[in-house]
Chains A and B, each alone.
Chain A
Amino acid sequence: MSEETIKIKTLSEVHAAGEKVDYLFWVGCAGSFDARAQKVTKAFSKIMHHAGISFAILGTEESCTGDPARRAGNEFVFQMLALQNIETLNSYEVKRVVTACPHCFNTLKNEYPALGGQYEVIHHTQLLNELLASNKITVEGGKFAGKKITYHDSCYLGRVNGVYEAPREILEYLDANLVEMKRCRTKGLCCGAGGAQMFKEDEPGDKRINIERAEEALDTDASIVAANCPFCLTMVSDGIKAKEKQDDVMVYDLAELIVQNNNW
C-alpha cells in the first residue's frame, strides 16, 4: 500500500480549471461528518480513483438534501435546503450524481425534479456493480470467497426505489456465500433510522427496531452484514453491539468490502 495522497477535487476547482467530470459525488451529511460513514466515503472514493472515474464533490457548497426535515414534516427547512442545493447544482450544470446514501439518492432522484432539479442519479452500489460488470475494476484474490455474508436492504434503496439486485451482484463478484435474512428484498425490515427517527428518541415500545434487525442478521450465522446506507450501518452495528456480538459479526458497506478484498 503506497502512501500517495488521493486528491479529491471540488466542482468549483474543476470548473475554475475549465474541466469536466463524469460524476458529482454527493457525499451527504453522514458521509461527511460521521466517523463510521466517512470510512465508506473514502472507500468509495478509492474505488472510483482506481477505476479511473473522473468525479468531484461539492465540498463546503454541499448541504443536507433536506430528507429528514421533509419526513419529519418540516417543509420549510426542506425547501430552503433543497432550493439552495438545486441552485448550486444547476450553476455547475451537473448532469450525473452518484451518492453512497440512499436517502440522498431518493431525494435527489425523486423529489428535486418537482423543484427544478433534474439529474441522472445513481446509488454507489449501482455504479460499483457497473464497474465490476465492465471490468473497470476487478476482484483480486478471494478474501470473501465462500464466506457467509448477509445483506441488509435499506428501505430507500430497496422498497422505495426497487434496487435489490445490484448490491447482491457485488457480493457475487466477491464470491461470497450470500445468506438471506428472514425478511429481505420487498419485505426487508427497516433498521429503524428512517423518517428522521435517527435524530430522536424512540417512541415507547417493547424493543428497538435495530435490535430486532440485528437478531435477524445474527440468525443467519453470517460473520458479515453488508449494508448500503450510512444510517443502517450505525443502526445495525449498534444492534449487534447490544447483543454483544460485535467481535464476531462486522457490519460493512459494500464499497468497504471491495476495498478490503483488493487491499487498496
Chain B
Amino acid sequence: MTLSQKFVILRKQDIFYKNTFHFQMSLNQIAFIIVFIVCFSIAARQYRRLYRNIHFGKEEKIEGSEGQRWKNVLLVAFGQKKMFKRLLPAVLHFFIYFAFVITQIELIEIFVDGFTGHHRIFAPYLGGFYTFIISFIEILSVLALIATIIFLARRNLLPLMGKPISRFQKTEMNGWPKLDANLILLGELALVTGIFLMNSADIVLQDVDPAHYHKTGSFAISGFLGPLLLDAWPREALVLVERTGWWLHLITVFLFINYLPKSKHLHIFLAFPNVFFSKLQPRGEMDNMPEIMNEVKSMMGLLVEGAAEMEMTDDFPEFGAKDIFDLSWKNIMDAYSCTECGRCTDNCPANLTGKKLSPRKVLMDIRDRVEEVANNIDSQYDHFIAEDKRKTAQRLDPSNYDDQKSLFDYISREEIHACTTCNACVEACPVMINPLEPILKLRRYEILSESAGPADWTPMFNSMENSGSVWAIPDDRDAWTKQLTE
C-alpha cells in the first residue's frame, strides 16, 4: 500500500466515525469544551495571581552561565539527581514522576479527542508504536499506583503502627499540610483508575464493536484486565465504563490544575524554573550589601568617586527583610516550590536537637504570609492601605500596603537565632530551594534595622569593632609566635 492509499483509507475511516458517532460525540464534545473553558479560565486567573505574588518580592538579577542552569534543570529537575540521596523514596517518587510525564501523551490525545470528537485519534497514525506507548504508560501507571499506595501508607499507617517518619510529624505539618498531602495522593489514585477503566473497556469494545472502536493491539495491562473483568458485559455498560474512565482522568487533571496553586503539589511545575533560577554563586557567599559597603568606605575615606552613597532621608533606612516585600522574588518562588518533604528539617542540626527552627516551616511561613497579603490586596479594603497614604492612594497595592503585621508574626526570633548556617538544608533540598537566605535576611533586619538580636552578640560585635577580634583579649595577635620552637 502506498502512503497516499493509506491516507485515503484513513480519511474514509475519519468520515465514517464522524457520521456514525455524530450525535453521541457532539454531546461529549460540547461537555468537554464547556469544562475545558471553565477550567482554564479559572486556572488562568490563579496562575496570573501566582505570578504577581512571586513578584511581591524584590527584583533580583539572576547571574551566571545559562549552560550551567540548563544542566541543573536536566540533572536536578528532570533527572531528580538530588532525590537519589535516599534510594527508596527516590525510586518510588520517580515512578510517579515518570508516569506523570509520559501520561501527558495520552492526555494530549484525550484533549484532541475531546475537541474534535474523535476516538483515540493517534491510534491509526501510530500503529504498533501506539500500542507500545500506551502499554508503556500502563506499566508506569501500575508502578505509580504501587508508589502512591506506599506513600499513603507511609503517611497514614506508619503513625498508627507507632513507627511514624519524624519529618512528616513535625508541628508545621498539622492540619492542612497533612490533608493536602493525602488529597494529592488520592488524586493520583483517581488518575490511574481513570486510565485503566478507559483502556480496559476499550479493549473489550474493540471486539464487541470493531466498527466504532478500532483495533489498537493489546495493551500491556488492560489487555489482560479488560477481558478478565469486563468479558461479556453489554455494549452500553462497556461504553459507560469507557466514558467514566475518560472523564474521571480528565476531570481529575482539570481539578489538579486548579488545585495546584493552593497546594504544596505546585512543585510539579515550579521545580523546573526554580532549579533554573537557583543561584550559581558559591554557597558560602552571602549577598553583598553595596549601600553599607559604600557607607563604610566613605567613613574610611576609601570611597571611589561616582559610587552611589547611601541616600540621606529622614527615614532611617531599612536593611534585610521584615516582610515578604523585602525578600527577593526568588525567595518567594522558593516558598511556592516547596513540596514540604522535610529533608531540610530532617538534616537541620538545630531541629535535630530539639530547637524550634525548622527550615521547611520558614518556607511554609513565607508562602502563608504571601497568601495572606495577596488575599488582603485582592480584597481592596482601604483598611489595608498604610495610614499616612490613605488620602493619596488610588488603590491598595504593595507600595502602600500595611496590615500591621510582618514575617516576624510567622517566624519567631528564637527560630532564626538557632541557625548555624551549616547549609545542610540547602544541600538537602531536591529542588534547589535556599532556606538559609531568608533566615539571614531576617537576621539582618533584626540587627541592622532594629538594633536588636541576641544579647550575647553585643560584646562580640563590640570586640570586633574595637579590637578587630571576636574576643576582647589583651594579648597581641602574634603572641603565639614567641613560644614556637622546633
Contacts and interface: CB of A to CB of B under 8 A. Distances in A.
A79 to B, nearest CB: 4
Interface residues on A, range: 35 or more
Interface residues on B, range: 35 or more
B470 A155 contact: no
B477 A111 contact: no
A110 B285 contact: yes
A187 B320 contact: no
Interface in A107-121: 107, 109-111, 114-115
A4 B447 contact: no
B469 A32 contact: yes
Nearest to A61: B477
Interface in B436-484: 440, 443-448, 453-454, 456-457, 460-461, 464-465, 468-471, 473, 475-481, 483-484
B432 to A, nearest CB: 14
Contact of B464 (A62, A64, A73, A156): A64
Residue in A63, A83, A205 whose Cβ sees the most chain B Cβ within 10 Å = A205
A6 interface: yes
B427 interface: yes
A159 B480 CA distance: 31
A65 to B, nearest CB: 10
Interface string A58-101: 01101110101111111111011101100100000000000000
Interface stretch (B103-111, B232-240, B348-356): B348-356
Given A75-B292, A79-B296, A203-B355, A45 B284 contact: no
Interface string A190-210: 101111110111111111110
B484 A209 contact: no
Contact of B468 (A6, A81, A195, A206): A81
B478 A196 contact: no
Given A5-B484, A84-B468, 11 more contacts: A32-B478, A60-B478, A74-B461, A75-B289, A79-B293, A109-B282, A110-B284, A159-B422, A160-B284, A194-B422, A205-B354
17 contacts: A29-B469, A42-B480, A46-B486, A73-B453, A83-B302, A84-B468, A87-B300, A114-B288, A115-B293, A155-B420, A193-B420, A195-B420, A200-B460, A203-B350, A203-B355, A203-B357, A203-B417
Interface of A: 1-6, 8, 10, 27, 29, 31-34, 38, 41-42, 45-46, 49, 57, 59-60, 62-64, 66, 68-77, 79-81, 83-84, 87, 106-107, 109-111, 114-115, 155-156, 159-161, 186-187, 189-190, 192-197, 199-209, 211-212, 264
